[in-house]
């Protein structure tokens, strides 16, 4: 009981300190800050400008300016032949996008959320991912499927699922998930330029967040490599892997752990498929402890794959069992308190990191 109370107090005091800390963290050599939304919009704009074969299609991408305003201004700039509002028929318009990619165009298909991609998943997997293989290289599919993925806020079970694990299990697809504005710009540009089908998993709650970007990132030729994770913060005691929104949580966690003398290495996966096993394993060989963090369902999730990879490649380096923090194994509830329990919180990640470092706080049951 006391232990839990102590933890809660710590948590609250951290909440007061954190905003100031994060402001300090965000100052870097460049003063420019852009939101993830602006990053995605500018990436689409620049790639459409550079290559006339790139076109956008999806629900409300044109006249509505994008359901989440990601495609704002693009209809006015490029016209209705390149920015196409579709009817609400995912199977039909996704198939049409894939067919256009067969012919050599470069479609960027938006799903209003990836929950709706399930209606089109046959085209993503069977028509897009497998075609280059089945045709022995004749039919490549240079298409990008993008949109918000995972939990938003209060949208309920049918609108909150994370699809990273499902898509990333399929050979022939590339699956990317940006965290900050630099990721958003660099990875989306890379995805559009890539000749293979790319599933690009954004996050609705990150769209409005601002991040600092350097001049290099703002240049129209900027591109990030596919298949390479980024070490957001170096550390020596425990490795935390995360993608998308959870990277932000992992960074907060690393600040909290530092106060307890635990230095966490935070890896922003950026690419779920191909997974950067090399960076992950190198990190675990250094820290000897691993926490995987994801928003999605735990069973057969991204963390399960990372854990297996580390056990296969770096077993003798592990000083503690691999810890998985994931969404709860339930459909997403609506009530705010239950929703909070269904998605990883910063405290969950801290607790797991301490367990891995043998610094656990005793459980409530004992009190």
Partner 1 sequence: MALSHLAASASRSSSLLKPLSSALSLRRPISGDNSPLTVETSVPFTSHQCEAPSCSVETNPKELLTFFRDMALMRRMEIAADSLYKAKLIRGFCHLYDGQEAVAVGMEAAITKKDCIITAYRDHCTFVSRGGTLLEVFAELMGRQAGCSKGKGGSMHFYKKDSNFYGGHGIVGAQVPLGCGLAFAQKYSKDETVTFALYGDGAANQGQLFEALNISALWDLPAILVCENNHYGMGTAEWRAAKSPAYYKRGDYVPGLKVDGMDALAVKQACKFAKEHALKNGPIILEMDTYRYHGHSMSDPGSTYRTRDEISGVRQERDPIERIRKLILSHDLATEKELKDVEKEVRKEVDDAIAQAKESPMPEPSELFTNVYAKGLGVESFGADRKEVRATLP
Give the catalytic positions in this structure.
90, 159
> CA-CA distance, 188 to 181, in Å (whole number)?
10
How deeply is 259 buried, as exposed, middle or buried, from its count of CB atoms within 10 A (0-12, 13-18, 19+)?
Answer: exposed
Supply the minimum distance, in Å, between the C-beta of residue 226 and partner 1. Answer: 6
C-alpha angle with apex 204: 199 to 205, nearest 5 degrees? 135
DSSP per position, 88-135: S-HHHHHHHHHHHHHHT-EEEEEPSSGGGGGGGHHIIIIIIITHHHHT
Dist CA 83 CA 75 (whole Å): 5
Closest CA to 198 of 231, 230, 223: 223
Residue 96 or 328: the one with the smaller Cβ distance to partner 1 is: 96
Q: List contacts with partner 1 (CB under 8 A).
A: 55, 81, 84, 86-87, 89, 91-105, 122-123, 126-127, 131-140, 142, 171-172, 174, 194-196, 225-227, 274, 277, 312
Token pair for residue 102? Answer: 């067969």
Strands lying side by side in the sheet with 271-273: 83-85, 54-58, 106-110, 144-148, 198-202, 174-176, 271-273
Contacts of 123 (CB under 8 A, 6+ apart): 91, 94, 95, 97, 98
Residue 162 structure tokens = 């994370």
Strands 290-293 and 238-242: parallel
- CA-to-CA dists, residue 301 to 168, 169, 253, angstroms: 10, 10, 21
User: Contact at 8 Å (CB) between 327 and 304?
Assistant: no
**Nearest residue to 226 (alpha-carbon basis) of 192, 181, 251:** 192
Three-state DSSP state, 85: strand
Q: Judged by CB, which is closer to partner 1: 195, or 208? A: 195
CB of 142 to partner 1, least distance (A): 8
Of 134, 70, 58, the C-alpha closest to 96 is 58
């Amino acid at each position: 009981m006391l232990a839990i109370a102590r933890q809660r107090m710590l948590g609250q005091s951290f909440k007061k300190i954190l905003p100031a800390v994060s402001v300090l963290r965000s100052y870097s050599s460049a003063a420019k800050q852009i939101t993830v939304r602006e990053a995605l919009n500018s990436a689409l704009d620049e790639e459409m400008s550079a290559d006339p074969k790139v076109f956008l299609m999806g629900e409300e991408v044109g006249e509505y300016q994008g359901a989440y305003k990601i495609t704002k201004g693009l209809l006015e700039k490029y016209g209705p032949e390149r920015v196409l509002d579709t009817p609400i028929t995912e199977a039909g318009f996704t198939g049409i996008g894939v067919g256009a990619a067969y012919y050599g165009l470069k479609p960027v298909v938006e799903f209003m959320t990836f929950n709706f991609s399930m209606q089109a998943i046959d085209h993503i997997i069977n028509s897009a991912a497998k075609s280059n293989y089945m045709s022995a290289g004749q039919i490549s599919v240079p298409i990008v499927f993008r949109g918000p993925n995972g939990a938003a806020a209060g949208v309920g079970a049918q609108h909150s699922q994370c699809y990273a694990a499902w898509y990333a299990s399929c050979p022939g697809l590339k699956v990317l998930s940006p965290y900050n504005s630099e990721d958003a710009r660099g990875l989306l540009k890379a995805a559009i330029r890539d000749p293979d089908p790319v599933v690009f998993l954004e996050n609705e709650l990150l769209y409005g967040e601002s991040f600092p970007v350097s001049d290099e990132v703002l240049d129209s030729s900027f591109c990030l490599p596919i298949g390479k994770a980024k070490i957001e913060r170096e550390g020596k005691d425990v490795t935390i892997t995360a993608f998308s929104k959870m990277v932000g949580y992992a960074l907060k966690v690393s600040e909290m752990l530092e106060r307890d003398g635990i230095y966490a290495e935070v890896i922003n996966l950026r690419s779920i498929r191909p997974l950067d096993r090399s960076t992950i394993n190198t990190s675990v060989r250094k820290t000897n402890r691993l926490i995987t963090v994801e928003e999605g369902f735990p069973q057969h999730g991204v963390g399960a794959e990372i854990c297996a990879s580390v056990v296969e490649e770096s077993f003798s380096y592990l000083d503690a069992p691999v810890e998985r923090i994931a969404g709860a194994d339930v459909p997403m509830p609506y009530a705010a308190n239950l929703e909070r329990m269904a998605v990883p919180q910063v405290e969950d990640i801290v607790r797991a990191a301490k367990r891995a470092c043998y610094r656990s706080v005793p459980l409530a049951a004992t009190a």
